[in-house]
Structure 1
């Protein structure tokens, strides 16, 4: 029996007839693996973010692995990054046999603290991999200046940052241009646009782009599209050991439809975030995310820090909201606190640990109704009065 309780999810992808028709088009074409839809999606994504090259892959974890592998990261190397990220960030480093070196985050932006970055660089450092956490852009100017001084490439984990922007001089540029050497994106359903799952690498370096394309398809020297269109018999070779990291044409077709929605999705998410920020300014003990004047986030998630000034602890608040039909999530995980990374020994990252333990992610998604957000805000006000 229904209780009549309003149910508000933490997130929900925006999918409709356009995506269904795009998938149908790919299915009926007879070409459902990596093919012409993937090529078109890559071209359109590159144009969207202002990149010279874009290479589609099966997910963002494989994108990060390919990026590091193509740069020659291997056993004995170190990659400077954050623990405060989904575990895939560090896993991609370990796939290469390298070691992640964790830097603490800024307590307001939840991104790598650039003032601590230089101290983490050592003789074995091969790459710096900042994360644009929850779509909040990193302080790329500071990161790139340090990287340039040390002669290190920057791989941006931009899994959550599709549509986020930074200001360069007097112009705004999208994350993924890229500003480092490579940027890696995710199309998981929790992200701004989705292909069910999927990823993308962007770069300005044509030789890196060619490496990605070779590596994603087993190291095959001749792509399927070229072989099938050839007027004479072609036999492929496998000059290197590659991976099966391809995106399908069905996924890419859906991605193209999603990409067309991106401007409207960003507008609605930013409007929802602005409404949250205004409401939270009147609720003591709840602190919204910080963003500088040179950063324009996409609000992939909406993190709120719960301080002692609020009458409930973070976990109590989450439970109280759940009882009112509102789904939330805890702050982003920390890899160094997970059993899989216990072999790294004790690591102290106080701001990362506090962010995990005292931050709640509120519901925010493109299709969120105004009355649903009003209900979330009303419940927060109600709970704030329980003293």
Structure 2
């Protein structure tokens, strides 16, 4: 019995050729292909500025840094997210403050953010969890009036839309991921998008040790100018190998999203009559890319979430537990709010992620659906 994977990136000969050409060029560090990828990403995401980084985590770190967040500040974040969302606040010396999420979308809302605000809140990080677009405008209305920076963690969001535009397009600053688990990949890698030129300029410096002259400009010069270092920076650069791959992957994005939405539609129709399984759906304000197709296992279903995972594994199907809860992990347990995070706990304990990727076959998807029907 062949295994059905939960996820697999869609890669082809075009990516191989692009990376090989970068190698043959002799320019494999950050250079012209990264710059081209940034320009293409700006256009695709309707963002004035894009800054490539080594990962989404480093993009989040830089986003908070250029947004002025530092020691003594609080940053409101969802616990219902990969732990990097909370870690980024710690990297700048701030304290993560956990907000609960909406049970239908898994995203923070204006109400859950407002409940988590403190007198020291300097920033709020909102997440497009699993590719479901966050309802950004009400959160910005709340935070902009208070001078609080809103950072959109769009790690899972490439190809999702909010009110007819790409997610992240209307956020002050957004961070993106190109990890293989995401919609498009460069192996590892990330991106910042922003409408503020000064933030983009500083992020470009900080990703290269805060050098006054970029490495690409120095290497392109016969007589390289002397560089200066005005502050402590980081080595958060993307390579041209990754940039070359990213350009090909970005060109595939519309086709990838269309395929994933078609597969998600099959799941939605086939699972609609199974009691106790609640699948994720598009919210009223946008469309998701179904980076993760997650299902909540409710009490009506004959098996618990853990028993269902085991049942699927016995059928050769690799599903995954739903999104983690950062407040349950050792570094953050003491930061659990006194009121608790009931929706986060519920979703973390009762959701699972089903196989969904570009090359998922009809027969393999039918195997997954048959296995889900089996216990009913």
The answer to whether the superposition gives a TM-score over 0.5 is yes
Question: Is 1:154 equivalent to 2:150 in the alignment?
Answer: yes
Q: For the Cα contact (< 8 Å) 2:98–2:337, is it kept in 1?
A: no
Aligned residues: 375
**Quick check: 1:153–1:180 contact (8 Å CA) kept in 2?**
no
Alpha-carbon distance, 1:331 to partner: 1.1
Deviations 1:56-87 (A, max 9, x none): 00000000000001112111100111100000
Which TM-score applies when normalising by structure 1? 0.95
Deviation digits for residues 113-167 of structure 1 (CA, Å, limit 9, x no counterpart)? 3222212222211011111100000111211111122121210000000110011
2:184 equivalent to 1:193: yes
Within 5 A, what are the aligned runs for 1:26-41?
26-41=22-37
Partner residue in 1 for 2:218: 227
Q: Indicate conservation of the 8 Å contact 2:50/2:192, yes or no.
A: yes
The 5 A counterparts of 1:295-314 are 295-314=286-305
Cα distance, 1:194 vs. partner? 0.4
* Distance (Å, rounded) in 1 between the aligned partners of 2:322 and 2:305: 10
> What is the aligned counterpart of 1:325 among 292, 316, 323?
316
- The 3-state SS of whatever aligns with 1:150 is coil
- TM-score normalised over the length of structure 2: 0.98
| Residues 282-291 or 341-350, more deviating | 341-350
Candidates 343, 358, 364, aligned match of 1:351:
343
8 Å Cα contact 1:6-1:324 kept in structure 2: no
Question: What secondary structure does 1:332 align onto?
Answer: coil
- State the match for 1:260 in structure 2: 251
**Bigger CA drift: 287-296 or 318-327?**
287-296
Instruction: Give the match's secondary structure for 1:378.
Output: helix
**Structure-1 residue corresponding to 2:282:** 291
Aligned to 1:339: 330
Give the deviation of 1:109 after TM superposition: 0.7
3-state SS, counterpart of residue 126 of structure 2? coil
RMSD of the TM alignment (CA)? Answer: 1.1
Unaligned runs of 5+ in 2: none
Gap runs ≥5 in structure 1:
none
| Offset at residue 230 of structure 1 (A) | 3.0
C-alpha contact (below 8 Å) 1:9/1:327 kept by paired residues: yes
CA contact (8 A) 1:130 1:157 kept: yes
- CA shift for structure 1 position 375: 1.1
**Contact conserved, 2:97 with 2:335, CA < 8 A, in 1?**
no
User: Is the Cα contact below 8 Å between 1:32 and 1:250 reproduced in 2?
Assistant: yes
Paired residue secondary structure (1:129): strand
1:144 to 137, 140, 147: 140
- For residue 12 of structure 2, the aligned residue among 16, 29, 34 is 16
Runs of 4+ with deviation above 6 angstroms: none
